[in-house]
Structure 1
Amino acid sequence: MALSVSQQAKYWGIGMAVTVFLLWLLGGILLPFITGMAIAYFLDPTADRLEAMGFSRIWATVTITVVALFVCTLLVIILIPQLVQQTAALATAAPEYIQQLQTFLAGKFPSLMDENSAVRQGIESFVEGFKGRAGEFASAILASAFSIVDALIFIVVAPVVAFYMLLDWDRMVATVDSWLPRDHLETIRGLARDVDGVLAGFVRGQLTVCAILGTFYAIALMAVGLQFGLIVGLVAGLLTFIPYVGSVIGGVLAIGLALFQFWGTPEWIIVVAVIFVVGQMVEGNVLTPKLVGGSVGLHPVWLMFALSAFGTLMGFTGMLVAVPVAACLGVFFRFGISQYLDGRLYTGLIGKRVDSQDDDVILTKESDTNG
């Protein structure tokens, strides 16, 4: 006996609520597994290409894993020490930069830096609160995501999960497909194709854009001798996920630091600004059209809301899954809107009468033709 629509909706709603609750309950534990799954999904097209070249799935997976481990090892050896050093140095130098800004404002705009000025009181309050805590601030930034034990578990578990999921990805997709309810098979498959298109085009493509831009900004800023160029470049690259935010925040940070460092040589300040202009031109005209293409993106407001909401509910794990989940919800929302626009709830009785009149006209024309 087939289930009614209301019964199906009830059971699917209960299943979704239980899934969300388990994700919230196990948020911290799931981090290495979600990361491994994301890595496997990101690398699956590469494995498919290697298979097309004649590799077996196991050898394609092994090849990708060896290359990825080699690249990650190089990054850990070269990048992490520099990142830690620059983060600590930036935390230490921040009060000095603020004092220099205060001195500059006092000389150029005396009224702003009056003793009773809100600007001066705010700067002094910030400096006093920051002094003596630079080391604590840097440590908090570096240790906020993981404890030492969690980091070790993450480093060991995530690559193992990624390896096995990449190895069995096609088989897992086929298995999940066999579990789909037969009454809604084509609808669910269509939604799955749309979700995959959004994730592949927007999330996977945008991640690649972020990595390329972050690398470009970091190398270019370090090449011109900007202090903390590595941090600024990586921040700008990561925030590229949110349109315009990455370039604006990265550009403001870089130009602000350049003003302090290159005040006597303004040409270098211009060079720093040009780096971000070039980065935005390359992103808009080359990277995004090639890697992201015409896939449906996410509105910046919706993206920031998703990051805030999932980060509050699930911590770092929530921020990791926020963008993919937001992209999937966008697909489901658009599907729901299309169903609503085609349904009786939207068209009402007027739509029903119009459809009936159209059917009567068609039947009349057919009868006249047959007559």
Structure 2
Amino acid sequence: MSLQRQIGFWLISLAVFVLFLVLLRDVLLPFIAALALAYLLDPLADRLERLGMSRLAATIFILIVFLLVFVLSLVLLMPLLGQQLAGFVARMPEVAAKLQTLILERGAPLLEKLGGDKLAQDAQNSLGNLVGEATKWVGSVLQSLWSGGTAIIGVFSLLVLTPVIAFYLLVDWDRMCATVDSWLPLDHRDTIRELLSEMDKAIAGFLRGQALLCVLLGTFYAVGLSLVGVNFGALIGIISGFLSFIPYVGSLTGLVLSVGVATVQFWPEWTWPLATLGVFAAGQFIEGNILQPKLVGDSIGVHPVWLMFALLAFGSLFGFVGLLLAVPLAAVIGVLSRFALRQYLASNIYHGGDVSKSPEARKRVGADV
């Protein structure tokens, strides 16, 4: 098969795959979640197999332990988080209004000195509109999470179908990988295997490390804010940890919410809002200097800006399923882009027809995409 026909074949395959995701995005979530779960648990199943357990027994043992931990976490956390979530939603307009009043009371004299009454009035109107829009946005996000997550997809599909699908995938994981490997084109098998290995290393390193990072950060923020005494501290902390898989978004969201709530709650005392700020400063220091290098490092090889773009783009195209697929697809695109760049740097196109002028170009690796 000529190069042009091979390129055409893979482009058509990619288009069919994207069309498949678009058409079936509303029912893919339990399958994507099960695939991710099986992918993350496969190394543990392999280790248990090496210890003498059969694949079936290892899979059953792993999933039972996982489900027990998951159910126990729900039983322990859901009453507290449900109560705090209900209180947060109910009091959010009140907190926003009080925060707006505090800002205007403290900032109005300065604005009047700088630009007169008109500037102060304009600032008041702008701040009121901003707070109102932010409140509506948070409410719409919570509503969309409920309607889009449970009404459309259904709790049944997530809590029941996902473990069942994950069980079958985990049992047959090695067999499926061997089957896919046998389908690789013979002429390019070694190159494709090398690329797949690089993708696997990037995705696995990021997902496993980032998942643990989110859990640790969420626990730290929840405990820290609760000790400070911030209302809804556990809820805000867990939300911050969950959103930490998006660079800077989790910490920034938690910081704004917690400092705003603490300011309204403890006003005019500044000690506790500053303590709240200190919790997030400590969390950022621990994340940047200890957790991130140890757990994640540079495993994914994707720049944070590209990662945020991928999350927004795939989330916009495919909804929550797109958010789940964004990081793996970003890693895949990054690996393929670096491979294409290496090929270009070693080609006649780059060297003007004489590759031998720069033999070291074949060893050059492009920067992170």
Query: Same fold per TM (> 0.5)?
Result: yes
Whether contact under 8 Å (1:95, 1:130) holds in the other structure is no
Alignment match, 2:51: 53
Alpha-carbon deviations, 1:85-115, whole Å to 9, x = none?
A: 3223222222222222232233222255957
Higher mean displacement: 66-75 or 112-121: 112-121
Counterparts of 1:27 and 1:227, CA distance in 2: 37
Summarize the Cα distance change of 1:57–1:155 in structure 2 as closer, same or farther, 3 Å threshold. same
What secondary structure is seen at the aligned counterpart in 2 of 1:29?
coil
Q: TM-score, normalised by structure 1?
A: 0.86
Whether contact under 8 Å (1:214, 1:236) holds in the other structure is yes
Matches within 5 A, 1:41-190: 41-110=39-108, 112=111, 117-125=121-129, 138-147=142-151, 150-190=154-194
Unaligned runs of 5+ in 1: 357-371
Per the TM alignment, residue 167 of structure 1 is displaced from its structure 2 partner at its CA by 1.5
Counterparts of 1:275 and 1:49, CA distance in 2: 38
What secondary structure is seen at the aligned counterpart in 1 of 2:28?
helix
Summarize the Cα distance change of 1:131–1:58 in structure 2 as closer, same or farther, 3 Å threshold. closer
Counterparts of 1:136 and 1:243, CA distance in 2: 23
- AA aligned to 1:311 is G
Alignment match, 2:267: 263
What secondary structure is seen at the aligned counterpart in 2 of 1:298?
coil
Alignment match, 2:284: 280
Counterparts of 1:355 and 1:305, CA distance in 2: 35
Counterparts of 2:105 and 2:152, CA distance in 1: 47
Summarize the Cα distance change of 1:81–1:123 in structure 2 as closer, same or farther, 3 Å threshold. farther
Per the TM alignment, residue 263 of structure 1 is displaced from its structure 2 partner at its CA by 2.8
| Count of equivalent residues | 353
Identify which of 172, 177, 201 aligns with 1:197.
Answer: 201
Summarize the Cα distance change of 1:98–1:131 in structure 2 as closer, same or farther, 3 Å threshold. closer
Per the TM alignment, residue 134 of structure 1 is displaced from its structure 2 partner at its CA by 9.6
Higher mean displacement: 128-137 or 228-237: 128-137
Whether contact under 8 Å (1:87, 1:138) holds in the other structure is no
Higher mean displacement: 79-88 or 220-229: 79-88
Whether contact under 8 Å (2:351, 2:357) holds in the other structure is no
Identify which of 220, 239, 245 aligns with 2:243.
Answer: 239
Alpha-carbon deviations, 1:58-85, whole Å to 9, x = none?
A: 2221111111111111222232333333
Counterparts of 1:325 and 1:192, CA distance in 2: 13
What secondary structure is seen at the aligned counterpart in 1 of 2:52?
coil
Summarize the Cα distance change of 1:228–1:325 in structure 2 as closer, same or farther, 3 Å threshold. same
- Alignment pair present for 1:298 and 2:302: yes
- Alignment pair present for 1:354 and 2:362: no
Whether contact under 8 Å (1:217, 1:279) holds in the other structure is yes
Counterparts of 1:325 and 1:136, CA distance in 2: 28
Counterparts of 1:31 and 1:331, CA distance in 2: 25
Give the greater-gyration-radius structure (CA): 1
